[in-house]
Each structure stands twice: as structure tokens, then as C-alpha cells.
Structure 1
Amino acid sequence: MLCEIRLRRWSRQRRGIAAAAVGTLVAATPLRGSSALAAVAKSATSFQWTQPSAVYGHRFKLNGRLPEGLRYCPEFITESEEKELDELLSSGPWLRHIKSRAQQFFGLVYYQTTQELPALQPSETSAEREARPMEELPTWLMQRVLATGAFPREGEINQVAANEYLERAGISSHVEEPTAFGANLGTLSMLSPVQMTLTPAEEDLHGRDGLDHGNWVKILLEPRSLLLLQGESRYEYRHGIRRSKLVQLADGKVFRREEDYRRVSLTFRELLQSR
């Protein structure tokens, strides 16, 4: 209940600010030098924001429209860049304190989890010590994410969280805690497809009777794609990944999550001092 109260309050305060950045492609960045700025400009012109493949529940209130502030870019990275990032993550330790998935952090450490384990949250001094340095991430990756304009303030991205999903692993439906995380979220998907379910924050995917009441939309996250959540989509909708074995693809075919299924994601966000 406390989280829901915080959510409604922060939703009113933040929605206008976050939504204002949605249409921006290039923002001020901390990069220096003409070559770095040229790289950003080149990346920005190559972005192709598209409507993601979506499946709508029969009661979804937006009637075929996606929540405001949601943007999707397929092929945000190349296959070779995807391989480079996977090799980078393979060189570091995966933390397996959460049963559903393994994690790595760059920048600062913070676990958003429903598990009542205070020990999971590091102290302010150890949060940075326990994470990998942001500098270990490829320069081209951070430049390209900044070029989307979704993170307009210098140094806004101070945490990149890597998650590894095996077989039918998922993540419970949630809203990033407004007092812990900033207004802008970006998720880069790699290796395998999955569907992310968005549900209005005030409504559970299933009612108390356990039945599916249909007020949801499932977004297909393809390998190498970038999903941005700002404004309405960030504050007023829960997002999660169900433990479904089947993934409906854009061409109508069905992808099966078998025993060898593996998906890795990188989430870019600002960890607030008020956490």
C-alpha cells in the first residue's frame, strides 16, 4: 500500500516532466571532443522508432494504443555488438541471490525485489564498491543510449543492471520504485525474444478470483532492441515477464522457451539519493 501511495504521488509530479523528453532525439551529453559528438549525431540519425508487436487483453483501456512515453527501437545494436556485450558480462560474476534470475551491476548496486531481505540492499559506501565500474561498458554503448535523448542530464545514468533469464525465468509485475529510481528507464534486450506484460498500476493482472481480467498489453522485446519507458508508461503501468513457455512473434509464429533458452538484458536508469 505504501508503494502505491508513493506511486500515485510521484506520477502526478513526474509525468509532465518525463513526457516532455519523449520526442527528443539528441540531448546534451557529457562527451567531449568533435569525434565523440559526431558519433552521437550519427547514432541519432540511425534510430528507427517503431510500434512494437503487441497483444492486447480484451479489457485493455487504451483500445489498441500503447501507453504514452513508451518507445521501441529494433536492432538498436548489431549482432557483433551483442556478442561483445555478452562476452563482457561473461567475464564478470553473476550474482545469484534472487532465485528467478542472475544479476550484475555497473555503477551502483540496488536490488528491487519483493523479497523481505534488508541485507540485499548494500550501504551507500558499499553500493559502488560491489558494482563493476561504468567505465567497463563500451563507450559506443553509452554514447548511443545518451543519443536517444531519454537521459538528458549529464551523469543521469549511474546504474546499469544486467539480468540473465534462463529457461522460463521471469520477473514479477512491478513499477520501479519512484523514490529509488529516476523518471527515465531504458532496457536493451539480447540473445532471445520475450514478451513483457504491461498492466495499469492500480490493477493486478489477475483479480482476487484468480481469473485473467484482460486489462493488459504484451510487448514483444526482440533481441538487440531497446525499450524506453517514460511518463505514463513508466509511472502508471506495471511491467513484468511471465513464466510463459511460448512467445508470440511479430510474424505470427510461436517461439518456445526450451531448456537452453537464455535472454540477457541491460537496464539503464538513475539511482536516486533518496532511496
Structure 2
Amino acid sequence: MPRFTSPKGGEDASSHHLYVANCGPAVGFSHETIASVFGMYGEVEGVYAADESGTRVIVSYHDKSSSQAAMKALNRHPCSSLGGRTLHIQYSVQSLGKVNNTASVPVSTSASDLDIPGLYLMHDFVTPQEEQELLAAVDDRSWYHLAKRRVQHYGYEFCYDIRNVNTNQYLGELPSFMSPVLQRIRSFQALSRAADMSLDQLTASGVNEYPPGVGLSPHVDTHSAFDELIFSLSLAGPCIMEFRKYTTGVWQGNSTSSSDLENQISGLNFVKKAIYLPPRSLLLMSGEARYAWHHYIPHHKVDKVNDSLIRRSARRVSFTIRKVRRGPCRCEFPEYCDSQK
């Protein structure tokens, strides 16, 4: 896939290529759909992922006049053909050099190999029979449809637009099918800190279903929304989860409609690590892993683990179990903390 970058000083401000933020597979629009929309302004040679977020693309035209027409018509305007989303567009140029941090990274199968403080992975946390029972339980209930996946909320509903919960909207206790999982978390000695949690107040803030090729954009779970320990139980299919810690500037990754989208990936350097999450495994993010590392699922259909290529299953369901925070966050990572800014 070609690589692109922003025009440098002295270069023509316009080009054949447009960097388009606020659209892409992660928000429900395929590259084919985007090409069709932008094709109204001229011949589109290709649509490419701008990065791994799934929310930004490069649209390449055959000629510069077409990109100029699209820029004039679509930049900072709601696009009815793309769900009314306001697009943020810049000109881009094809890069012949290497792009920082785009190379693939080795994938670990153990959390200890990543050396991220507070990250733990427990294989076979539930049995195959329990996995089937959990899947049957959620499939017996109604799903809420997002652009590219379906979700269910228990305890409190998670609001994706503000990345927080409404504590005034209590949905009731966690369902009984979660009891064995919660009990096992309490009794697992390696998680002695979890035993101090009032697990009856935990929120399963989403049962997320990811079809092949659909991932999760980089983010840190909002500090003020949830307490320190965040658990993610993977069912039905495997995936790769990647972690980023930014070393130049801080990107919270929570903006979806602001002009800040244009600068989110400019001037940022980061350390990048990856872990393989097999079915029936439980991931715990705590401490630094929870508060300071962005986590995300790349938008891949095939993952490379060591020397093996693993095709994603037709379905992956994750149970994310968190405790709603009462009061502001007082963590040791104020640069990432919305309560301490």
C-alpha cells in the first residue's frame, strides 16, 4: 500500500491525494462506499487506510482538479452520503520514505513478555462449555446495532459519543450468567486486588461483537468513568490487541467531530506492543496498562502471530467488565487523566 504524508514547505499546497478524517471502516463506511462518494468529483484511483485507526483514509484522484473540487465541497461540511458526518480534509503527498511506527511489531502470547506494568493475560479462563453457555445467553437477548458491530449493556449503559456512563441510568444488576465469571475473578489468587472490589457493583459495559476485519480504534478508557481494574474476556474467536504509549505529546483518542482530528497523529511518537488474545482468555488492564497505554484491535482479517498466519473467525465476542467510578480519578498519570487536567 502506498504511504502518504503532509506537504512540506515549498511544495504545492494542493495535490492529487486527500487525507480524510472522520470516515472509514471503524465508523461504518467501506473504502468502496467512500470511493463512490468522492467519485462524484472526479476519477478516484484508490482509497487507502491512512493509519490503523479505521477512522481516517487517503483518497487518491487521477488529477488535481478533482481533489480540489472534493476539498471545496466536502471539507468541514456534513456529508449526507456518509451518515451526515463532518469530514476534516487535508491535502497529502505520497511518501517514498519510511513512515514512523507503521511497521508490524512482534506479537507476544504472554503479557509478561510485553513488560507493560499492570497487564495480565490468563489463558483458558473459562471452559469451552462455559464459553458456549455465555454466547448462548447473550444471543438470547436483544443486541444494539452500531455501524459495524453489535453491543449489549448491563449495569449502566456506556455512551460512545462521550466515552462515559450515565450513572443516572441504572439498568439493574449484572445478569446471572455472569456469576461464574465474577466468582472466578474474586477467587483467582493472582488477582488478589480484585478480591477487594465490590463485584456486585461492577459494570459489564459492553458485550462487543467484532466481525472479521472490524477492530477497535486506539483509546484509553476514560479515567473518570471507571475504576482501575478493567477485565476483557474473549470468546468465540481470537484477535491481536495492540498497545501504544505516546512519548511526544499526549493523544487521548476521544475526539470524533472536532478539528483536532486533523492533528491527532501529527508529531506523535509512540512505543508499540502487541499481544495475541486466544478464545476463552481473560485480559486484565490495571495500573499503568489501564491508565497510560492506548489499546486497540487492528482492522485486520488475518493476524500474524510469530511465524503463523491466523485468520480471524467469523465472530469474536468480548465481555468488558468494569466498575463505575464514584468521584474523580486520582491516578498517578495526570497527563492522561481527564479528572486532573
Match of 1:271 among 319, 324, 331: 324
- Shift of the alpha carbon at 1:246? 1.4
Residue 197 of structure 2: aligned partner: 153
- Shift of the alpha carbon at 1:65? 3.9
Residue 141 of structure 1: aligned partner: 181
- Shift of the alpha carbon at 1:103? 0.9
Residue 43 of structure 1: aligned partner: none
Q: Which amino acid aligns with 1:255?
A: I
Q: What is the TM-score normalised by the length of structure 1?
A: 0.65
Q: Deviation string for 1:17-51 (max 9, x for gaps)?
A: xxxxxxxxxxxxxxxxxxxxxxxxxxxxxxxxxxx
Which structure: larger Rg? 2
Match of 2:123 among 71, 74, 78: 74
Distance 1:71-1:124 versus aligned 2 partners, 3 A rule: closer
Whole-angstrom CA distance in 2 between matches of 1:99 and 1:183: 29
Task: Give the conservation status (yes or no) of the 8 Å contact 2:208–2:318.
Answer: yes
Q: What is the TM-score normalised by the length of structure 2?
A: 0.53
Task: Give the conservation status (yes or no) of the 8 Å contact 1:108–1:158.
Answer: no
Residue 91 of structure 2: aligned partner: none
Residue 226 of structure 1: aligned partner: 282
Task: Give the conservation status (yes or no) of the 8 Å contact 2:208–2:319.
Answer: yes
Whole-angstrom CA distance in 2 between matches of 1:244 and 1:122: 29
Q: Deviation string for 1:42-91 (max 9, x for gaps)?
A: xxxxxxxxxxxx9449xxxxxx6421111111111110000000000001
Distance 1:198-1:271 versus aligned 2 partners, 3 A rule: same
Q: Which amino acid aligns with 2:213?
A: R
Task: Give the conservation status (yes or no) of the 8 Å contact 2:219–2:296.
Answer: yes
Residue 110 of structure 1: aligned partner: 158
- Shift of the alpha carbon at 1:138? 3.9
Secondary structure in 1 aligned to 2:126? coil
| Residue 92 (structure 1) aligned with residue 148 (structure 2) | no
Secondary structure in 2 aligned to 1:215? strand
Residue 162 of structure 1: aligned partner: 207
Residue 254 of structure 1: aligned partner: 309
Identity of aligned residues (%): 25
Residue 222 of structure 2: aligned partner: 177
Q: Which amino acid aligns with 2:311?
A: R
- Shift of the alpha carbon at 1:158? 2.0
Q: Which amino acid aligns with 1:99?
A: A
Q: Which amino acid aligns with 2:310?
A: F
| Residue 192 (structure 1) aligned with residue 232 (structure 2) | no
Whole-angstrom CA distance in 2 between matches of 1:122 and 1:76: 27
Residue 16 of structure 1: aligned partner: none
Secondary structure in 2 aligned to 1:105? coil
- Shift of the alpha carbon at 1:150? 4.4
User: Which structure 2 segments of 5+ residues have no match?
Assistant: 1-103, 108-112, 254-263, 329-341
Q: Which amino acid aligns with 2:151?
A: Q
| Residue 235 (structure 1) aligned with residue 291 (structure 2) | yes
Distance 1:224-1:194 versus aligned 2 partners, 3 A rule: same
Task: Give the conservation status (yes or no) of the 8 Å contact 1:188–1:265.
Answer: yes
Whole-angstrom CA distance in 1 between matches of 2:114 and 2:215: 25
Q: Which has the higher strand share?
A: 2
- Shift of the alpha carbon at 1:157? 4.6
- Shift of the alpha carbon at 1:167? 2.1
Let me know the Cα RMSD of the aligned residues: 2.9
Q: Which amino acid aligns with 1:71?
A: Y
Instruction: Choose between structure 1 and 2 for higher RCO, CA contacts under 8 A separated by at least 6 residues.
Output: 1
- Shift of the alpha carbon at 1:142? 1.3
- Shift of the alpha carbon at 1:207? 4.4
Aligned residue pairs total 202
Task: Give the conservation status (yes or no) of the 8 Å contact 1:185–1:229.
Answer: yes
- Shift of the alpha carbon at 1:141? 1.6
Distance 1:69-1:107 versus aligned 2 partners, 3 A rule: same
Q: Deviation string for 1:83-106 (max 9, x for gaps)?
A: 00000000111111x313211122
Whole-angstrom CA distance in 2 between matches of 1:202 and 1:102: 34
Distance 1:237-1:214 versus aligned 2 partners, 3 A rule: closer
Residue 266 of structure 2: aligned partner: 208
